[in-house]
Structure 1
Amino acid sequence: MRPELWDRLSGAPVLLPDSATLLGRYLIPAGRHVVSGVAVEPGAYLAAGAGRWTLRSGGEHWAGDFGSAPTPAPIVMESIAFIAGKVADLQQDDAPLSAWTNVPPLVNGVVDRLRAHPLERHLKAGLGHLRAVCQRPHARLRTEDVLVPVSKARRITWRTVVHLAAHSETWAARRLHGVEPARLLTPVQIADRDLYENRVVATLLDRLWRHVLAGIAEIDQIDSMVGQGKDLIQQAEMRPDWREKRRLYAFIADLLMGDDLPARISRRRRELLALRNALAPLLASELRSGVRGPYTGPPRLRPTNLFDNDVNYRHCRRLWDVETASRQGADGLAEPVHALAAWCRDFARYALVLVLRALEQLGLTPTGTRAPHVGEPGPVYAYRGRTVRFDWNHDDTFTLLLDDEQVLRLVPLAHALTGQSDLAELDGHLTSLIAECRVAVLYPGERSEREALPLDRRLAVHNSTMVPVSPTDLGSMARVARALRAALDEKIMLAYPARVTCQIAGAGALAGRFPWLVWRDGQLLVTCPPADHELARLTPALTDLRIRTDAARQQGDNAGELDRLRIDLLAAADQITSLSLCPFCGRRATTFAPREHDTYWCRCSCSTTWEIRRCTSCRRNYPVVTVPTLADRTGGDGDLLDEEFSQEVLAVPCWQNARSYVCPFCGHCPESAACDRCFLIPRS
């Protein structure tokens, strides 16, 4: 029987899957288990190196894999590990919440990463020797039998006679005296370059090539991040809230604090491109084509005549030793099971920093200094007259609660979903991510990876429930904030109108006395925020509905019911009043206009509008927020939303008409007949 694992996505135990699993999704249950030969504690991640895992429990054995590319680039993993280390220090020091939100979720040590690697200095010094070995490799003579024309045959052996007798196709003619051969199997001396030393040098060349390519990719990521910082400066100038501007400027300062970054990046790129151009011709050299496979022996090379006495091979051995030492230092933990499990934990702590900073960026005000602790009630915030709490769960997931009611679970999933090029594999992973309850999945993903996907996949991997994040992508915090806003504001705004069930005789008459009340189907509906003088009239109006005790008519006093009705109406009035608070500046709306189909429209003195609209396709209500500076911007894929709107949007504007919005429930907008995006969404 397959064992049960804890599924972080659904928050429940599930049977061990028999298909490709997602790295970081499952936790080991209680009991004795061995993952890829290593005993693990209960609650550990199902993780193993080389993309495959094995699980042993008792006498049974199961195996699986994580797909082709479960982890992101090294610069991403190293930076997230650095951020997670800071979080561990804050936990140990019991630091206040403000210290947690001050941790920058960026690539660490940008200036240090722009310095030349020690391996590259040795490569430059030994490049001439490496080139000489690749172009003129040593070889040993090897005898090989080759079929050649008779005119070129200089030597025959017994194999020649045996082959000639067995292969009539090599005969020219049959004579009376015997066979006249056309071709003969002749021994020749061939230079064999598949030596121990040459296999070592060929493997060294491959590793140096991968090192240079990884360095160029890292520089491109840093350059892209710096470019995003410059774009954010322009975006910050357009933000309507001065607090948001200040947060963005501080965020950019953390990134661009290094001096002369563009010149450093350009110089570093030129150095790496020069090394790449020098190594590229060697990939097609005689040495590389002369070996039949890579060197797979121990890192410590054994002494040979070539390595000891040939100057070119001796320098290649020194370069091998430098490369091996640098790679072992960068590999970190030697045990891949522990290394990948640590990566999953590190990514969860990085996601924690992102969410805490996103809550601050949304303008939520903490009511204390308490920092999050695993398994305990987390920090509490005030938002639009409501109470928001953020909890850190035992399984490294997070819960967002509005007035003690869960509105969103956030699941950090350390699997690089868009890192693979196999669309079928990506589709399989996306299908497995369908959860029973509302979940926002945070996963490591780069913009360049998403841009290489077809449009329908781009929409699938970057939306309100799929949130790609990376320390090299400055839009990460904005898209997390947008996912949080969608959960909070949707819950707040769709709680309209506030409904109070009432069975008191004559209660319907209250709706005729107060313009903010409507009587419908045995319920009093609060449809707009009441003024203070109208609330003052509520108690006398309820007193008029009081029925005295009448023993003859067997009627009891309804004072208790009226008191409960008064409390419920005041609570409903407070709920609707909270809807009138601007989601950006926090001020009271200057206009609150109820509309048909239980919708409304609000406008603030800062010109921000928020409303409930009714979808023309699925007939469900959905919330919309419009910031004046962004009112004329059309929508697009998730990366475009990051650039244009940041977190200042709820429903996504139509791709054709900025005044229309895409329904978050069915994915259609009023412009479905002409909208490019809606053609990707099948109609039900």
Structure 2
Amino acid sequence: MQFWNRLTRSIAKELPDQVVLGQWQFITESERVLINTLELPSNSREYIFPDSGYCWSLRSADTKLHYEKHFSKWQLPSNILSESLRFFECELQNLVSNSATWLDWVKVPSLVPEIEQKINIQPLEVITKQNLGHIEEVCHRPRTYLKLETERLPVSRAQRISPHAAEFLAAHTEDWERRTFRSVVPKRVLCMVREELWDIYENKVTVRLIDNLLEYVRQRLQQVQTLKQELEEAEYLSGTINDIHFRNHQRICTLWGNYFDATTVVKKANSTLRELQQLQYKLRSLIDTDLYKAIGLRASVGTTLKRTNILVNDQHYRYVDLLWREWSRCQSGQAKNSRQVFEENQELFRGFESFCLLLIGLALTGSGNDDDKGLGFQAISNLIPTRGSQSIKFQGALGEISVTWQEDGSFLIQSHGIKDLHVIPIIATLTATNNSEIITTTVETLLYSLTPKTDNQTLILYPGTEEERKKLSFHIQRKINTLGNDCLLGELSTAILPISPLDIISVERVARAIQWWLNSQRYLSYPPTLARAIPEPLLQNADWLEENQSNQVRVLRSPQSAQEQSFNTQLQSLINQLQARGSQGRGQLIQLQQLENLPSQAKNLIQPFQVCPVCHSTGSFTARDRQCFFCECSECGSNWGTRTCGSCGKKYPYIQIQRTGINSQNRQQGWVERTLGREVLAVPCWIEHNYGTFICSNCGRCSQAEQGYLRGCLRCQN
């Protein structure tokens, strides 16, 4: 038995005290192991996930190993999120089984599936609304059971005398008021008292039905409200033109407009919310009735209803039976055994992995139409990858990229000449709690485990929505929604991003992360070097080349036609001189002959820097001081390159897109992908509206802050 840490990609024999959901997997070999009381086959690899009681247990068949871990409820995704994530796993398996192509996969909507059906009024709500009057009648005029009991009461309160009253009175002199010559005047007398009992079975069913319907309506209100927020966000982003860059606006409209009409669906959501709120109000009013108070919470009723005579034939109670059966039908899929819970949880993990694969695909290739081409890549093999299968390769103007879905559910994205990107989906919903201390501890547990890893870049993806993040403090928001390229002093520079089918910006967020991984490393590799010795006469007349202190030759820019011709002429002259010397200059002659294609090599080395990261056309290239460069695109008006930070003196990469009338005032954490989208490297200054001043990705200092312009900047003031 071994435990696999997906963040550090290492094996451990013991689990830590705090386990973050999705970080760990267990690997069985030949031993028999019980997970949450279920026996797993040998050579299994599964996620550590709690049972319905939020506990995870592991026990070997020989009882030598025994682990128990408790998970907080907030780490688990909500019902609507879980249902949506499982949809992506089912959709992926259906496409793979039908031998579908990559283009079929990226056409799957990255949003909540069947959103219109979820927003509409459901059958249970219609039936409840139609028959709620009968439930109200039962609560106000319930059937009861009459029970007669004997009790000693004062004579003034006596209504029905017990047949045994005389005998009892004769034997109990303490109940005498006084004696007379002929009889006894009683003070208390034994009476028959009629007691009305409320807690009959049918009334218990009615009270529990009210509780069940209230819980159902509460969950439905939460579901519709969550979907409405997504719809309103999409409607706002689709309708505004001043707060968002037009390219980002176009992509969002394409993503949303292909599947929904936001305005119409928002109206449906508002109508459904009103009806659910009215239904909730009426159900809550029944809590104050005498029947509900008499039964209270102490009475329990099984899921399967007994068809009593009252429930079948009474003109009002029969609708209690009807609503209970309808409610049970809606809840039929929720009563699961241990194996079903385990399998659904593992499917949930795989669904989140599939969702991450979809976002990566949409970021690279787009959805396959002219309005969304992603980062300009196309799939070479056009096959849908599966976990543990071969890599899928993509070709584009920025070169070749391969994506591998690894056995542990993470993704390895590779490109020649730069560090790999390790994308790790973590299912824990880090923003589902308002406890800042818990979030900080959990995030630090994740990030500090990555500190020793320097062989690649890491991107952590977790499910989270904007509404959840808005409830958190600014400092917590920075920790759980960052690419690590605008960190303040003392913050860890690890990329951790929230994604969700409920968040329409998720695609832009992942695309921006891949853009940063790919182009930031390439831009910072300027100037490229040639591992060849070049004679001094050739270097003196080639200002597009420069020799550094390590005797390596840097390529500063592509040679112009005249410069290329001059270089070739000089090179040919040197070759002719060595050829005239015969065998004495044979070694030098071979070295010079290898330089005949040097201008072409220089052009090939500079060409990747000239590719526009916005529209993928070729821009003009200018070499600048301090080993920086500047490129400008005549097609889209964007410019990009590297600059030197005035604070730390290091280079940082940037993209400055054509502004085209953006006047956004949104400067909360995460505003970059919302306003500018993926066409960003270094983060622009939060208070500058020309997006031409940037935050250094090395030291986190902003030039505006260096000059003392902090007024109104949420980032630098905090």
Interval of TM-score (by shorter of Structure 1 and Structure 2): 0.7 to 0.9
Alignment counterpart, residue 631 of structure 2, candidates 584, 597, 602: 602
Q: Per the alignment, do residues 297 and 320 of structure 1 end up closer, same or farther by CA in structure 2, a change over 3 Å counting?
A: same
One-letter amino acid of the counterpart of residue 552, structure 2 = Q
Shift of 1:498: 0.8
Shift of 1:341: 1.0
Q: Per the alignment, do residues 580 and 404 of structure 1 end up closer, same or farther by CA in structure 2, a change over 3 Å counting?
A: closer
In structure 2, the partner of 1:576 is 606
Alignment counterpart, residue 656 of structure 1, candidates 687, 698, 708: 687
User: Structure 1: how far apart are the matches of 2:91 and 2:694?
Assistant: 41
In structure 1, the partner of 2:378 is 366
Does the alignment pair 1:98 with 2:113? no
In structure 2, the partner of 1:282 is 286
One-letter amino acid of the counterpart of residue 52, structure 1 = C
In structure 2, the partner of 1:35 is 35
One-letter amino acid of the counterpart of residue 474, structure 1 = I
One-letter amino acid of the counterpart of residue 477, structure 2 = R
One-letter amino acid of the counterpart of residue 328, structure 2 = T
Shift of 1:28: 2.1
- Which stretch of the first structure deviates more once superposed, 29-38 or 230-239? 230-239
- Which stretch of the first structure deviates more once superposed, 30-39 or 288-297? 288-297
Q: Per the alignment, do residues 57 and 670 of structure 1 end up closer, same or farther by CA in structure 2, a change over 3 Å counting?
A: farther
One-letter amino acid of the counterpart of residue 463, structure 2 = P
- Which stretch of the first structure deviates more once superposed, 54-63 or 285-294? 285-294
Query: How is 1:150-165 mapped onto 2 (pairs within 5 angstroms)?
Result: none
In structure 1, the partner of 2:556 is 527
One-letter amino acid of the counterpart of residue 655, structure 1 = W
SS of the residue corresponding to residue 3 of structure 2 reads strand
Shift of 1:542: 5.0
User: Structure 1: how far apart are the matches of 2:27 and 2:68?
Assistant: 17
Contact 1:418/1:445, CA 8 A, preserved across alignment? yes
Residue deviations 1:536-595 (CA, integer Å, cap 9, x gap)? 5445545667796999x99982445556667787545422221011111222223x3323
One-letter amino acid of the counterpart of residue 37, structure 1 = T
Q: How many residues align?
A: 632
User: Structure 1: how far apart are the matches of 2:496 and 2:56?
Assistant: 25
User: Structure 1: how far apart are the matches of 2:286 and 2:589?
Assistant: 94
One-letter amino acid of the counterpart of residue 36, structure 2 = S
SS of the residue corresponding to residue 223 of structure 1 reads helix
Query: How is 1:53-92 mapped onto 2 (pairs within 5 angstroms)?
Result: 53-58=56-61, 59=63, 60-92=65-97
Residue deviations 1:466-510 (CA, integer Å, cap 9, x gap)? 2222222211111111111111111221111112345x4x64554
Residue deviations 1:58-117 (CA, integer Å, cap 9, x gap)? 422111133222333323222332232221111112222211111111222233223322
- Which stretch of the first structure deviates more once superposed, 622-631 or 445-454? 622-631
One-letter amino acid of the counterpart of residue 482, structure 1 = R
Alignment counterpart, residue 6 of structure 2, candidates 5, 8, 31: 8
In structure 1, the partner of 2:674 is 643
In structure 1, the partner of 2:446 is 433
Alignment counterpart, residue 119 of structure 1, candidates 118, 124, 135: 124
Contact 2:75/2:428, CA 8 A, preserved across alignment? yes
In structure 2, the partner of 1:24 is 22
Q: Per the alignment, do residues 201 and 238 of structure 1 end up closer, same or farther by CA in structure 2, a change over 3 Å counting?
A: closer
Query: How is 1:544-623 mapped onto 2 (pairs within 5 angstroms)?
Result: 557-562=587-592, 571=601, 573-590=603-620, 592-605=621-634, 606-623=636-653
- Which stretch of the first structure deviates more once superposed, 465-474 or 307-316? 307-316
One-letter amino acid of the counterpart of residue 363, structure 1 = L
In structure 1, the partner of 2:545 is 517
Contact 1:475/1:642, CA 8 A, preserved across alignment? yes
Residue deviations 1:318-371 (CA, integer Å, cap 9, x gap)? 322321221123668872111111111111112211211111243323152422
Contact 1:614/1:621, CA 8 A, preserved across alignment? yes
One-letter amino acid of the counterpart of residue 654, structure 2 = V
- Which stretch of the first structure deviates more once superposed, 69-78 or 472-481? 69-78
Q: State the percentage of identical aligned residues.
A: 23
Query: How is 1:113-512 mapped onto 2 (pairs within 5 angstroms)?
Result: 113-134=118-139, 200-234=205-239, 247-257=251-261, 260-291=264-295, 293=297, 298-302=302-306, 307=311, 312-329=316-333, 335-361=340-366, 362-366=374-378, 368-374=380-386, 375-403=388-416, 406-434=419-447, 435=450, 436=453, 437-464=456-483, 465-502=495-532, 504=533, 507-512=535-540
User: Structure 1: how far apart are the matches of 2:70 and 2:467?
Assistant: 25
User: Structure 2: how far apart are the matches of 1:320 and 1:677?
Assistant: 54
Shift of 1:656: 2.2
- Which stretch of the first structure deviates more once superposed, 274-283 or 491-500? 274-283
Q: Per the alignment, do residues 100 and 56 of structure 1 end up closer, same or farther by CA in structure 2, a change over 3 Å counting?
A: same
Alignment counterpart, residue 44 of structure 1, candidates 46, 50, 62: 46
- Which stretch of the first structure deviates more once superposed, 200-209 or 460-469? 200-209
Computing the radius of gyration over CA atoms, which structure comes out larger, 1 or 2? 2
In structure 2, the partner of 1:166 is none
User: Structure 1: how far apart are the matches of 2:504 and 2:645?
Assistant: 33
Shift of 1:241: 8.2
Contact 2:134/2:319, CA 8 A, preserved across alignment? yes
In structure 1, the partner of 2:190 is none
- Which stretch of the first structure deviates more once superposed, 199-208 or 393-402? 199-208
Contact 1:412/1:443, CA 8 A, preserved across alignment? yes
Contact 1:98/1:369, CA 8 A, preserved across alignment? no
- Which stretch of the first structure deviates more once superposed, 123-132 or 60-69? 123-132
Q: Per the alignment, do residues 69 and 238 of structure 1 end up closer, same or farther by CA in structure 2, a change over 3 Å counting?
A: closer
Residue deviations 1:411-431 (CA, integer Å, cap 9, x gap)? 222222211232222222211
In structure 1, the partner of 2:182 is none
Structure 1-normalised TM-score? Answer: 0.82
Q: Per the alignment, do residues 231 and 635 of structure 1 end up closer, same or farther by CA in structure 2, a change over 3 Å counting?
A: closer
User: Structure 1: how far apart are the matches of 2:2 and 2:599?
Assistant: 48
One-letter amino acid of the counterpart of residue 516, structure 1 = W
Contact 1:354/1:480, CA 8 A, preserved across alignment? yes
One-letter amino acid of the counterpart of residue 606, structure 2 = I
User: Structure 2: how far apart are the matches of 1:535 and 1:500?
Assistant: 16
One-letter amino acid of the counterpart of residue 540, structure 2 = G
- CA RMSD of the aligned region, Å? 3.7
Q: Which runs of no fewer than 5 residues in structure 2 stay unpaired?
A: 149-156, 158-192, 367-373, 484-494
- Which stretch of the first structure deviates more once superposed, 473-482 or 25-34? 25-34
Shift of 1:450: 0.8
Q: Which runs of no fewer than 5 residues in structure 1 stay unpaired?
A: 144-151, 153-187
Shift of 1:610: 0.5
In structure 2, the partner of 1:179 is none
Contact 2:385/2:392, CA 8 A, preserved across alignment? no
Structure 2-normalised TM-score? Answer: 0.78
User: Structure 1: how far apart are the matches of 2:233 and 2:124?
Assistant: 30
